[in-house]
Amino acid sequence: MSQKTTEPTQMTHKQIMTVMVGLMTGLLLAALDQSIVSTALKTITVDLGGLNHYTWVVTAYLLTSTASTPLYGKISDLYGRRQVFQFAIVTFLIGSFASGIAHNMTQLIAFRALQGLGAGGLMSLTFVIIGDVVSPRERGRYQGYFGAVWGLATVAGPLLGGFFSDHAKVLGVTGWRWIFYINLPLGIIALIITSAVLHIPKIHREHKIDYFGAFILVVAVSALLLGISVYAPENGWLTAKTLIWIGAGLVLFGIFLFNQSKASEPILPLRLFRNHTFNITSLLAFLVGAAMFGAIVMLPLYFQLVKHNSATLSGLKLLPLMFGIISTSITTGKWIAKHGKYKRFPVVGMVLMTISLVGLVSLTETTHFWIIAIFEFLLGAGLGASMQNIVIALQNSLDVKDMGVGTSLNTFWRSIGGTLGVAIFGSIYASKLTGYISSGVSTLAGKNPAAMVGATPQALSALKNNPAVMAKFTPQLQATILHSYVEAFHIVFLSAAPVTAVGFLVALALKEKPLKSTAEHAAAMQEAAGEALG
């Protein structure tokens, strides 16, 4: 048996902050690409052609990043964090460069899948590594900065995507290609920093990788996400194609769980489900993801459709959301480090998110931005108080040997929740918008037939994908359609509020456990190293 380890050593605050820069840079890469590409999709598809395949540019990235997330956690438990994290960075950079030089949609979709494969590691291992380096009691001081990265990416993604897609050429290169090239210097910085300072204990255990389980998991997640994010929006949730894909995903996931119960080295150790905190934080991550991505997608859409703002300006108007995430992420993290209590923050965070979503139901065509900004800030504050502190609670309850797989699964459930949230809320929006436009137009036609000039069935049908068509309508018809947009947004926000309300009840069930001190954390790392040698 060739088991070896290096002795754990306690890092200084300066060393930890240096590591943090590398980790935050890696996380920023993955977080940015969840929003920056969506903003530029229209420009990309016009340039490369293949408009009928444009959703796959996002879906390919989503599939590989989500499906690989739990695998990275397990593999890093076996082989060490730095090597696997750097593999994720290099994979992401190769995918980014290749996407930037793509000549057609088929190439771009394939390279985005490769990019997503790297992103899965960046999103999950960032939180795993900080869990190795810092004790749970001190982790809040540092982990709050990850919330700041998410907040920055929320605004910077649409801003950069809008800027690059609005410019035909930037430094002699087609504008949209820079949304991929911008990753290269950031990724190189992350590689240099992690190579220089990320020296954490390597605990090598005798292992046998469950390749069959890994394959079944990837196929199950892919089938489920295809049903949720592609076929449901295109064909409807109750159509045969959608139900077959979702059903196949669920059946395969059941086969995966059965396989894990028999595997000698499971990808997902089923003993984790006996951990109360693991179960509660997994459900919270799922609910936070659903509400977060659902709301963040809808707010820029409101600004563009109802307020007629550009993509760039819509991104700027998300600044209050960013400030909310950053302020509470950092503040609550420091409070936890000082007092050692964490349960109250996910509870309060869910309350703030629910209040914000209910408040957003009051939006109209003429609502002042400062009112919207208040609700945005509350939403961001709720996210900041919840998202990172859920991870602290989880990691405090995990054994060192399960730190990687347990933490990456939390990221996995948040991604699944986000995918489901975007798909469901998007479907609600589309169906309600169609109904409200039809009802509003019929009412207007009965009261004022002269206002219906230019309102052909083709023009009205095109409104969902091309709001610019509305410019040809009469002022009365434009006002009716704008009101339909607003009413559809109301239903979406009203539908999202119960999700966070359920999250509040789940957060109340979270058990407060004493956070491990630096000495206790070091002892646990030493014990894990001893077990590996043993």
Per-residue pLDDT, averaged over 4-20, amounts to: 66
- What's the pLDDT score for residue 265? 78
pTM of the model: 0.83
8 has pLDDT over 50: no
Same domain, 256 and 279: no
Residues 121 and 260 in one domain: no
In a domain, 125, yes or no: yes
Is residue 394 pLDDT above 60, yes or no? Answer: yes
Q: How far apart are CA 173 and CA 194, in angstroms?
A: 30
In the block, tokens 């730095």 appear at: 82
Give kind and range of the element (H or E) at residue 5.
none
218 and 322 assigned to the same domain: no
Backbone phi, then psi, for 11, in 5-degree steps?
-80, 150
Last-in-domain residue among 245, 264, 283: 264
Tokens of 182: 């911008």
Neighbours of 443 (CB within 10 A): 11
The count of structural domains within the chain is 2
Predicted pLDDT of residue 2: 43
- One DSSP character per residue, 128-190 reads HHHHHHS-HHHHHHHHHHHHHHHHHHHHHHHHHHHHHHH-SEETTEEGGGHHHHTHHHHHHHH
**Structure confidence at residue 466 as a pLDDT band (50, 70, 90):** low
Contact 527, 463 (CB under 8 A): no
Strand partners for 169? 174
Give kind and range of the element (H or E) at residue 232.
helix 232-235
Asked if 411 and 123 count as a contact pair (C-beta separation under 8 A), the reply is yes
Q: Is residue 191 within 8 Å of 219, Cβ to Cβ?
A: no
Lowest mean pLDDT among 15-24, 57-66, 413-422, 464-473: 464-473
57 and 109 share a domain? yes
Contacts of 459 (CB under 8 A, 6+ apart): 469, 472, 473
Residues 205 and 229 in one domain: no
- pLDDT value of position 396: 87
Flag whether 474 is in a domain. no
Within 13 Å, how many C-alpha atoms sit on residue 21's CB side? 14
Any domain includes 129: yes
Q: How much of the chain, in percent, has pLDDT values that exceed 90?
A: 19
Question: Cα 467 vs. chain centroid, distance in angstroms?
Answer: 27
State whether 225 and 298 are in the same domain.
no
The set of residues, in sequence order, having a beta carbon less than 8 Å from that of 467 and lying 6+ positions away, is 304, 305
Q: Tell me, what's the pLDDT at 525?
A: 59
Tell me, yes or no, whether 420 and 529 share the same domain: yes
Please give the mean pLDDT across all residues of the chain.
Answer: 82
Instruction: Evaluate whether residue 337 is within a structural domain.
Output: yes
pLDDT value, residue 283? 94
User: 506 pLDDT exceeds 90?
Assistant: yes
- Degrees to nearest 5, angle at CA 95 with 94 and 97: 65
384 within a domain of the structure (yes/no): yes
Distance CA 335, CA 317 (A): 29
Q: What is the pLDDT of residues 184-237, one digit of tens each?
A: 988 888 888 878 777 665 555 556 677 788 888 888 888 888 888 778 877 788
Question: Is residue 405 scored above 90 in pLDDT?
Answer: no
- List the domain range (segments joined by +) for residue 204: 13-209+265-436+486-533
Same domain, 271 and 358: yes
Let me know how long the chain is: 534
161, 36 Cβ separation under 8 angstroms: yes
Res 325: pLDDT: 87
Same domain for 194 and 224, yes or no, is no
| CA 249 to centroid of chain Cα atoms | 21
Token pair for residue 64?
Answer: 């590989």
Contact between 131 and 139 under an 8 Å Cβ cutoff? The reply is: yes
Distance of alpha carbon 377 from alpha carbon 379, whole angstroms: 5
> Which range has the worst mean pLDDT, 325-334, 339-348, 459-468?
459-468
pLDDT in tens, 23-33: 888 888 888 87
Q: Please determine, for residue 1, whether its predicted confidence score (pLDDT) is greater than 50.
A: no
Give the pLDDT band (50/70/90) at residue 37: confident
pLDDT digits (tens, 9 = 90+) for 126-148: 888 887 788 777 777 777 788 77
> Token pair for residue 16?
């930890």
Task: Kindly state the percentage of the chain with pLDDT values over 70.
Answer: 89
pLDDT band, very low/low/confident/very high, at 294 (cuts 50, 70, 90):
low
Q: Are residues 80 and 134 in the same domain?
A: yes
Residue 451 is assigned to a structural domain of this protein: no
**Are residues 241 and 377 both part of a single domain?**
no
pLDDT, position 52: 59
In a domain, 36, yes or no: yes
State residue 374's pLDDT score.
95
What pLDDT, on a 0 to 100 scale, did the predictor assign at position 201? Answer: 58
pLDDT surpasses 50 at 332: yes
Helix (DSSP H) and strand (DSSP E) numbers for the chain: 20, 2
In the structure encoding, which two tokens stand for residue 322, read together? 């960013």
How much is the pLDDT for 103?
Answer: 86
In the chain the first and final C-alpha atoms are separated, in Å, by 10
Identify the pLDDT of residue 7: 46
- Residue 290, token pair as written in the block: 């659903």
The angle at the Cα of 485, spanning 384 to 41, to the nearest 5 degrees, equals: 65
Is 166 in the same domain as 22? Answer: yes
| 96 part of a folded domain | yes
